[in-house]
Amino acid sequence: MNLAVIKYNSGNVCSILYALERLGKQAKVSDVPDVIRRADKVIFPGVGEASTAMAYLKERKLDKLIISLKQPVLGICLGQQLMCSFSEEGHVDCLGIFPQVVRKFNSQTHKIPKMGWNDIYNLKSSLFTGINESSYVYFVHGYYAECGVNTIATTNYIRPYSAAMQKENFFATQFHPEKSGDIGHKILENFIKM
């Protein structure tokens, strides 16, 4: 199997590669369009800031490449947010795969960014085959995607929001499956088996 991890100015690539190695898989980290286009599966990770990440993607024409992909694509954390239509982080238009707006958490009573384990529920996709409702996964983020027609898992911190999304071949998680123990391992395995 040919796996590609999209290289751009975000962190988190090493932890994705280690998680894939635990599944017995190797991946190419690349920003070369032909390498990404030829992959059987593509992972679009991210830890960073939305407007600078979008600028980097546009500069290298990776924005157009990503939305043109036909194979299964998995966005993670910032990757999910960049797949939405707009982010309040830097007030930037994003890839527009999902019509949701990414909002900034605002609370006087909760710590922001949200860091730690939280449960996911209303699971609606083959991405969650073998995963029980209210399983716990690991989140680190200060912005969130609203719930909408593409929401395939929900979580609640301050308010309910999209823990995961899907539209056609595009999947995305706000949480980090690569840091979510056995549950995350199973989710990555489900994605690879698609």
Residues labelled catalytic: 77, 176, 178
Q: Are 27 and 16 in contact (CB under 8 A)?
A: yes
The CA-based diameter of the chain, rounded to the nearest angstrom, is: 47
Helix, strand, coil % in the chain, rounded to nearest 5: 30, 30, 40
Closest Cα partner for 99 from 114, 83, 115? Answer: 83
Paired with 29 in beta bridges are: 5
d(CA 27, CA 158) in angstroms, rounded, equals: 36
In the chain, which ranges are continuous DSSP H helix? Answer: 13-22, 33-38, 50-59, 62-68, 78-82, 181-193
